[in-house]
């Protein structure tokens, strides 16, 4: 028999609630810190009083790649973290990123967070959080390293696919239900990367310079909402610097804003290798240090974890009297609080893994997040019964997208590719042909996870195009599935995108197909905006995102009309890269320092203010039906600082099939002392309507929606004067407006 298992059995029985009758709330023999009927803070203080100095320090740093130590003497278990925001990472070796070789750690891959944000539906965020939280719980994980809410500043950020778009209000609305539902499973959501982590180039060292207005109005609100409204139990620091200090130990961000101003009572976790100095880590807000090898970034000596900045170096400073015990105890209290909420919570549910419900959730979220960008002539949806021959072109139709891309890489039981989904949807109703069209730099392995795909190709680029065109000429309809992938230089951690255009010569393929067949639909698989020089020659374009395990089925649902698309863009697609503010003003990716010269004018705020036409606007997304938004009204012409204003609009489904529209409220300030965007998102509601049905949507406007951050006063300000409420279907599709004044 395995003697190690016998040693762990008492702890396992305690953690699973199987010891005795499983009820630890009223046992008089339990020490107070194990008695769950007592107040949490009382339990924390009791546990703290029993710990030695060595035990306290041992809790503050990693003991393996993804775990930190508990206190075995007291029966306090270790904490286990897992990537990532889209699915539960496969088990890795104790000290390695590579696989541990388990055969039962395949997960459900949920859509990337850009897809979730594109649903513009907080109910989908709650479903996402509930489902991924259940998978984390089933795998006995205590901390889920996600979600990510860094703002989409530029289309070249390789990690944009892990975030929730360019608008702080949208990201705030979507992150809160995700966090709440994850944590209902007794799993901490670790919101990341705090803060200003908007590029991968020189991510370990670049110093971000940004004015306070942009910091508070654009880059902090989603984190603030996750903490104050979502009740997040953990926050991960970013790699980059701000005000010359690394964000994983940053006085201003962690101590002043997060812990003091927002009242955060959880744990600040370093990004892996984001810690650089013991004194700063101790004093500037870091609570729990993780990394790789000795310094968190490179291979080091044996016994590496004891050499972490919050390990032996910290212990020695404490023993020499160079660090105070009050700061130490504050860190330990936070880690204990996290432990009691997760690992020592005997009342959390059991969770589930790869359940039919989770696969259905992934499919539903993916289908609702896909964005129909263009659909001239009603090319979509396709009728398989009326399509004798359907041609599918493009490597992304057959390539797995769950493997690769960095820390969000996953191992799934099966990923349904677009071609698989299309074949399953049409059955025998039509003939489906496939042509490769182009070849990427595809690899089949990431951190030991193998796709099992052989994507080798012997034909030349010219031959691939010629073969695709030949097939297109005799097809009744053509679907091109391209976009980006998870290779370095595209949508991937550790490197920003190499260019704004589509890689691997895809533009040539699309242009050739457009010339060969007028019934062409381009499907883009990506987490980023891309250039579309062929847009005027292609009748239909669908943004399908990285959609996870059920990608192919979800795509087929939309292509063949089982799901009426209702996604809206969570970020702007510029025509040219130079139309994006970060590039127009010349500070991306910067050098040792990157300056956010655009300030608050990010995304649509920049396009509106400078009257730059986007390729596709923030909030844009079409449907297979049509909607009218009319009768935009306000219940009064003025409001006070403590009052409210009610804005209503009628939305009607004027088409012939059921569908959903996202009614969007923007506020503009015409008389501000400081420069402000033309308008800013301050409300939205997704409305499902049958043909001919009308509903009235109501928004409540408070002074908070009218405020800006005055960096000269370091305070939020709502200035008296004239404002405009704009209501529409996208930032560039306003259907009605009403003026009012703030008294």
Between CA 43 and CA 414 the distance in angstroms is 44
Catalytic residue among 142, 271, 287, 608: 271
Coil, strand or helix at 730: strand
Nearest to 214 by CA among 710, 724, 734, 723: 710
Asked if 114 and 163 count as a contact pair (C-beta separation under 8 A), the reply is yes
Alpha-carbon span 62 to 83, nearest angstrom:
15
Q: State the Rg of the chain over Cα.
A: 26
User: What are residue 676's phi and psi, to 5 degrees?
Assistant: -135, 155
Please indicate whether residue 271 is annotated as part of the active site: yes
CA 393 vs. chain centroid, Å, equals 29
- The tokens describing 451, both together, are 């796709």
**Rounded Cα gap, residues 225 and 114, in angstroms:** 18
> Each residue of 615-641: b (16+ CB within 10 Å) or e?
bbbbbbbbbbbebebeebebeeeebee
Outline where 309-355 has alpha helix (H): 312-319, 325-341
Quote the CA–CA distance of 709 and 230 in Å, as a whole number. Answer: 23
Report residue 712 CA to chain centroid gap.
Answer: 33
The answer to whether 165 touches 117, Cβ cutoff 8 Å, is yes
Calculate the CA dihedral of residues 634, 228, 185, 27 and round it to 10 degrees.
-130
Q: Can you read off the two tokens belonging to residue 131? A: 């489902």
Residue 736 CA, chain-centre distance (Å), reads: 32
Structural contact between residues 236 and 192, judged by C-beta atoms closer than 8 angstroms: yes
Query: Angle 418-426/551-559 helices, nearest 10 degrees?
Result: 50
If we measure between CA atoms, which residue out of 190, 162, 135, 185 comes closest to residue 413?
A: 135
* Spatial contact of 404 and 539, defined as CB atoms under 8 Å apart: no
Give the length of the chain. Answer: 743
SS (H, E, C) 621-680: CECCCCEEEEEEEECCCEECCCCCEEEEEEEEECCCCCEEEEEEEEEEECCCCCCCCCCE
Nearest residue to 689 (alpha-carbon basis) of 658, 715, 644: 658
Give the C-alpha separation, 667 to 114, whole Å. 24
Q: Whole-angstrom Cα distance, residue 305 to residue 291?
A: 9
> Which of 74-100 are b and which e, b meaning 16 or more Cβ less than 10 Å from the residue's Cβ?
ebbbbbbbbbbbbbbbbebeeeebebe
Tokens of 171: 């990201």
403 CB-side CA count, 13 A: 24
Output the DSSP codes for 391-441: EEE-GGGT---SS-SSTT---BS----HHHHHHHHHTTSSEEEEE------
**C-alpha dihedral, 575 to 578 to 582 to 588, nearest 10°:** 120
Start-to-end Cα distance in the chain: 77
How far is Cα 381 from Cα 558, in angstroms, rounded to an integer?
A: 7
Q: Are strands 540-543 and 593-595 parallel, antiparallel or unpaired?
A: unpaired
Residues designated catalytic: 271
């Amino acid at each position: 028999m395995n003697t190690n298992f016998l040693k762990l059995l008492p702890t396992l029985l305690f953690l699973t609630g199987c010891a005795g009758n499983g009820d630890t709330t009223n046992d008089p023999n339990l020490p107070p810190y194990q008695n769950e009927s007592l107040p949490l803070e009382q339990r924390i203080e009791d546990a703290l009083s029993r710990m030695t100095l060595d035990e306290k320090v041992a809790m503050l740093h990693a003991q393996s790649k993804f775990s930190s130590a508990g206190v075995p003497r007291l029966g306090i278990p270790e904490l286990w973290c897992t990537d990532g925001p889209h699915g539960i990472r496969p088990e890795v070796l104790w000290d390695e990123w590579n696989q541990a070789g388990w055969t039962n750690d395949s997960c459900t891959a949920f859509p990337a967070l850009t897809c979730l944000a594109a649903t513009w539906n907080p109910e989908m965020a709650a479903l996402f959080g509930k489902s991924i939280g259940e998978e984390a719980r089933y795998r006995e994980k205590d901390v889920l390293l996600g979600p990510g809410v860094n703002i989409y500043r530029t289309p070249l950020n390789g990690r944009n696919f892990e975030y929730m778009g360019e608008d702080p209000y949208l990201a705030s609305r979507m992150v809160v239900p995700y966090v709440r539902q994850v944590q209902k499973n007794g799993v901490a959501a670790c919101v990341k990367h705090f803060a200003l982590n908007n590029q991968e180039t020189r991510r370990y060292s670049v110093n971000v310079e940004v004015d306070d207005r942009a910091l508070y109005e654009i880059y902090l609100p989603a984190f603030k909402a996750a903490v104050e409204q979502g009740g997040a139990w953990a926050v991960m620091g970013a790699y980059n610097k701000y005000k010359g200090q690394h964000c994983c130990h940053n006085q201003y961000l962690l101590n002043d804003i997060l812990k003091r101003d927002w009242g955060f009572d959880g744990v600040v976790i370093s990004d892996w290798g984001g810690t650089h100095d013991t004194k700063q880590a101790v004093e500037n807000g870091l609570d729990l240090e993780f990394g790789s090898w000795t310094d968190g970034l490179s291979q080091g000596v044996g016994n590496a974890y004891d050499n972490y900045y919050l390990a032996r170096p910290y212990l020695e400073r404490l023993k020499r009297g160079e660090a105070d015990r009050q700061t130490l105890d504050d860190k330990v209290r936070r880690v204990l609080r996290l432990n009691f909420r997760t690992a020592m919570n005997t009342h959390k549910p059991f969770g589930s893994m790869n359940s039919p419900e989770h696969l259905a959730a992934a499919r539903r979220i993916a289908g609702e997040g896909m964005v129909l960008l263009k659909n001239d002539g009603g090319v979509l949806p396709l009728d398989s019964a009326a399509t004798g021959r359907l041609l599918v072109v493009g490597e992304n139709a057959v390539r797995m997208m769950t493997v690769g891309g960095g820390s969000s890489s996953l191992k799934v039981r099966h990923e349904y590719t677009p071609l698989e989904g299309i074949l399953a949807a049409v059955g025998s109703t039509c003939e489906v042909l496939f042509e490769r069209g182009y070849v990427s730099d595809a690899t089949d392995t990431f951190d030991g996870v193998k796709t099992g795909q052989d994507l080798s190709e012997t034909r030349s680029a010219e031959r691939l195009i010629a073969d695709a065109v030949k097939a297109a000429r005799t097809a009744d309809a053509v679907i091109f599935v391209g976009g980006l992938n998870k290779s370095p230089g595209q949508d991937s951690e550790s490197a920003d995108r190499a260019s704004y255009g589509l890689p691997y010569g895809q533009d040539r393929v699309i242009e050739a197909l457009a010339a060969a067949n007028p019934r062409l639909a381009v499907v883009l698989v990506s987490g980023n905006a891309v250039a579309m020089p062929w847009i005027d020659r292609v009748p239909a374009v669908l943004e399908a995102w990285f959609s996870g395990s059920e990608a192919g089925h979800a795509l087929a649902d939309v292509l063949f009309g089982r799901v009426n698309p209702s996604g809206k863009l969570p970020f702007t697609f510029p025509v040219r890269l130079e139309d994006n503010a970060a590039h127009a003003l010349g500070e991306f990716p910067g050098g040792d320092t990157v300056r956010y010269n655009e300030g608050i004018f990010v995304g649509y705020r920049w396009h509106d203010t400078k009257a730059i036409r986007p390729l596709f606007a923030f909030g844009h997304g079409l449907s297979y039906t049509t909607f009218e938004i009319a009768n935009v009204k306000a219940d009064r012409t003025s409001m006070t600082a403590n009052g409210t204003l009610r804005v209503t609009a009628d939305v009607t489904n004027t088409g012939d099939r059921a569908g959903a529209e996202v009614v969007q409220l923007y506020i503009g300030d015409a008389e501000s002392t400081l420069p402000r965007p033309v308008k800013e998102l301050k409300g939205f509601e997704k409305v499902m309507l049958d043909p001919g049905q009308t509903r009235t949507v109501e928004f409540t406007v408070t002074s908070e929606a009218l405020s800006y951050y005055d960096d000269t006063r370091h305070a939020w300000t709502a200035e008296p004067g004239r404002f405009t409420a704009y209501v529409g279907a996208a930032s560039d599709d306003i259907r009605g407006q009403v003026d009012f004044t703030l008294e």
